[in-house]
Structure 1
Amino acid sequence: MDLDILRAAIAPYSLNSCLVSRQDRLVFEHYREPDRALAPAKINSCTKSVLSMLLCIAIDRGLLPAPGDAPVSMFFPQLARDPDTRKREMTLLHLLTMTSGIRWQEFGGLNSFPRMTRTPDWVSHVLAQPLSEPPGRKMTYNSGVSQLLSAILSQATGMTVAAFAERSLFGPLGIEAYDWETDPQGFHTGGFGLRLRPADLLKLGQLQLRRGSWEGHRLYSSALAEVAVAPVVRASPPYDGAYAWHWWCGSYEPGDSPRQARDER
């Protein structure tokens, strides 16, 4: 690996940080300012993938059922009373893969995400949205369903998402410095709002690469780790690639630029 090429490639960008690990060894470390190494930084929508890991842990421990077999109405009984009976078909798997069918445009148009964050009850707001198609038909990027998953995880574990993370994920990985936003009901934000130190975010990526195992301890099964990142549905424009359980999926051949890889998918 030619690190000089990497340094030159990232030079035009005002990156908060850039860490590269190879074969479990940190081989490159860059910070905009030295103190960024120790300061928790916004990871924005990477929060969704951290939530996915926590859901895998809960499923592995039997706290949640298999996603495809669990209707969302198990956790939100009001859906059984909704005039649109298609909402009763919505499962945890539909939420994880953003194929809920809920009418949603994250930004622009409906401006669904900002509208949600301005309401006094985010979960109720998302559940009340109409469907634009039956569940399972189409992937539509939707941070609202991530908030539903956060509320479901909290309900299933009997604790806040952050408390569950400290016990079952952050603790085993030695992650102590973090901050996590909450909605008006106190549910931690499922689609954004988590702040982590760069080295701790790297640990989470390494955990997934190790298929849920960390220093001899298994946090969640290798089978769940693999299915969580296996492509389920093609992304809807303007997004590219495929989507899994709150993970984006893509592949690159050696020597490809990102644009080439997109054109060949």
Structure 2
Amino acid sequence: MKTIINRIKKLSFSILFIVALIGCDSKNKESIKDTQKATPQIALSVVIDSINSEISNGDYGLIDRFMVIQNDEVLADYKYKQDYETIVQKYDTTNHQYNFNSIEWHPYYKQTELHSLQSVTKSITSILLGIALDLNEDYNVDNKAMSLLTGYDNDFLDKRKQNISIEDLLTMRSGLQWNEETDHNDTTNDCFMLESSDNWIEYILSKPMDTIPGTRFVYNGGGTVLLGKIIRTITGKRIDHWAEEKLFEPLGITDYYWKETPDGEIDTEGGLYLKAEDLAKIGSLFLNKGNWNDKQIVSEGWVTTSTSSLLKNVKPQWQSVTGYGYQWWIPEYTDNGKTTIYSANGYGGQYLMIAPEHNLIIVFNGWNINDEPEKSTYRALQDRIIPALKHK
């Protein structure tokens, strides 16, 4: 299997042909549609061109990168320059890694090409846990989490807390009392308070229970932080070192950054920075069911379960039927539960979206944190790109 990075370095003639098609004028596009002679590939190139134009016009707000990859071919790779230094002048620009308007940290890390992934980090944390469980048969998702989180000043007298399993954390059903649905700058938001605390794990473990584990979905980044610590317990390695050895190095990802928390752990709920082309490699790994260059990085079973709609309709307020797996969102699935699209989603507009039926990967990086754009990149795959592929 040829890797994404090789494709980026040397595009084939067919890709250049598609890029040429992308540049066709609107009159030609309408002619194509009117005569009903467009192939799905041409229809896709027209849609890509349209999305790119709308991004350039500002319809999607602040977008930094837009990539489309199909069958290991890079069909589109657009970079957009935003003047964040000017944009954030009206906001607090204190230079701190958890101030989202600090241009030293967001959306790029210190003027590099490393882009904040925010909660896409959760999906990668899940992959790293899957690798750890694949390689350590003494542990599985049914293990109780608290027994793997020793050394903290919490007695876990509530038996419900003692019964939280690894799978409960993976599926956001820990039962811990947690509020992460308000604006991130809301000082009552648990994610805000977590990121303001000196000891993240102590903060999470101190939260009371409000329901039985495994019964109710509540979005909870703190649970993913606990998963990062559990990976350290299982492997004996902090997650950044585990990631380098077991995921990044095999995929040829050499440039990355992780935020470190005040207590010397790693921010596994939102602290990873990657280049967009390296994020696309994660998508390629999953499209190939955990295999990379004939080496199984993470088990096929973990990939399948992670991207299955284990929980259904978890976000009815999104006005779409959205499922959830092991730290992966399932924006679209069939009546019989088959996943047709799955995605890793992050604050500000970070999306790694995958449509297995079409062997398609979409990457968006953006930074829409202060204003709501007219159009949503989250809907671009379902509403525009896949319909183009079904064009007849």
Fold-level similarity (TM above 0.5): yes
Q: Which residue of 1 aligns with 2:327?
A: 246
79 and 87 in structure 1: CA distance in 2 versus 1, 3 angstrom threshold: farther
Please give the alpha-carbon distance, in whole angstroms, between the structure 2 residues aligned to 1:157 and 1:149.
Answer: 12
Higher mean alpha-carbon deviation, 234-243 vs 159-168, is at 234-243
Are 1:98 and 1:141, in contact at CA under 8 Å, matched by a contact in 2? yes
Shift, 1:236, TM fit? 4.7
Please give the alpha-carbon distance, in whole angstroms, between the structure 1 residues aligned to 2:156 and 2:132.
Answer: 28
Q: Which AA in structure 2 matches 1:26? A: V
Select which of 294, 299, 303 maps to 1:225: 303
Are 2:309 and 2:330, in contact at CA under 8 Å, matched by a contact in 1? yes
Please state whether the residue corresponding to 1:199 is helix, strand or coil: helix
173 and 188 in structure 1: CA distance in 2 versus 1, 3 angstrom threshold: same
Are 1:63 and 1:156, in contact at CA under 8 Å, matched by a contact in 2? no
Q: Which AA in structure 2 matches 1:88? A: Q
Higher mean alpha-carbon deviation, 150-159 vs 247-256, is at 247-256
Select which of 121, 135, 148 maps to 2:199: 121
Shift, 1:228, TM fit? 1.3
Q: Which residue of 2 aligns with 1:141?
A: 219
Select which of 239, 245, 260 maps to 1:167: 245
Select which of 262, 265, 274 maps to 1:184: 262
Percent sequence identity over matched residues? 26
Q: Which residue of 2 aligns with 1:4?
A: 46
Shift, 1:33, TM fit? 3.6
Are 2:173 and 2:215, in contact at CA under 8 Å, matched by a contact in 1? yes
Please state whether the residue corresponding to 2:133 is helix, strand or coil: helix
Are 1:64 and 1:156, in contact at CA under 8 Å, matched by a contact in 2? no
Higher mean alpha-carbon deviation, 248-257 vs 182-191, is at 248-257
Select which of 206, 215, 219 maps to 2:293: 215
Q: Which residue of 2 aligns with 1:257?
A: 383
Total equivalences in the alignment? 256
Are 1:45 and 1:191, in contact at CA under 8 Å, matched by a contact in 2? yes
Q: Which residue of 1 aligns with 2:96?
A: none
Please give the alpha-carbon distance, in whole angstroms, between the structure 2 residues aligned to 1:81 and 1:54.
Answer: 28
Please give the alpha-carbon distance, in whole angstroms, between the structure 2 residues aligned to 1:194 and 1:238.
Answer: 28
Q: Which residue of 2 aligns with 1:56?
A: 130
Q: Which AA in structure 1 matches 2:383? A: S
Shift, 1:89, TM fit? 1.0
Please give the alpha-carbon distance, in whole angstroms, between the structure 2 residues aligned to 1:136 and 1:50.
Answer: 22
Please state whether the residue corresponding to 2:123 is helix, strand or coil: helix
Residues 196-211 of structure 1 aligned to structure 2 (within 5 Å): 196-211=274-289
Shift, 1:186, TM fit? 1.6
Deviations 1:139-190 (A, max 9, x none): 1001110110111112221111111111100000000111110111221111
Residues 76-95 of structure 1 aligned to structure 2 (within 5 Å): 76-77=149-150, 81-95=155-169
Residues 93-132 of structure 1 aligned to structure 2 (within 5 Å): 93-108=167-182, 110-132=188-210
Please state whether the residue corresponding to 1:16 is helix, strand or coil: strand
Please give the alpha-carbon distance, in whole angstroms, between the structure 1 residues aligned to 2:221 and 2:272.
Answer: 14
Please give the alpha-carbon distance, in whole angstroms, between the structure 1 residues aligned to 2:133 and 2:288.
Answer: 18
Please give the alpha-carbon distance, in whole angstroms, between the structure 2 residues aligned to 1:120 and 1:106.
Answer: 19
Please state whether the residue corresponding to 1:176 is helix, strand or coil: coil
Q: Which AA in structure 2 matches 1:242? A: G
Normalised by the length of structure 2, the TM-score is 0.61
Are 1:229 and 1:249, in contact at CA under 8 Å, matched by a contact in 2? yes
Please give the alpha-carbon distance, in whole angstroms, between the structure 2 residues aligned to 1:177 and 1:229.
Answer: 26
Deviations 1:41-98 (A, max 9, x none): 0111100011111111111101661102x00122124698323111111000000000
Are 1:63 and 1:157, in contact at CA under 8 Å, matched by a contact in 2? no
Please give the alpha-carbon distance, in whole angstroms, between the structure 2 residues aligned to 1:248 and 1:98.
Answer: 11
Gaps of 5+ in 2: 1-40, 83-107, 334-339, 341-357, 359-380, 385-392
Are 1:154 and 1:187, in contact at CA under 8 Å, matched by a contact in 2? no
Gaps of 5+ in 1: 259-265
Does residue 46 of the first structure (1) align with residue 120 of the second (2)?
A: yes
Are 2:122 and 2:268, in contact at CA under 8 Å, matched by a contact in 1? yes
CA RMSD of aligned residues (A): 2.5
Q: Which AA in structure 2 matches 1:73? A: M
18 and 154 in structure 1: CA distance in 2 versus 1, 3 angstrom threshold: same
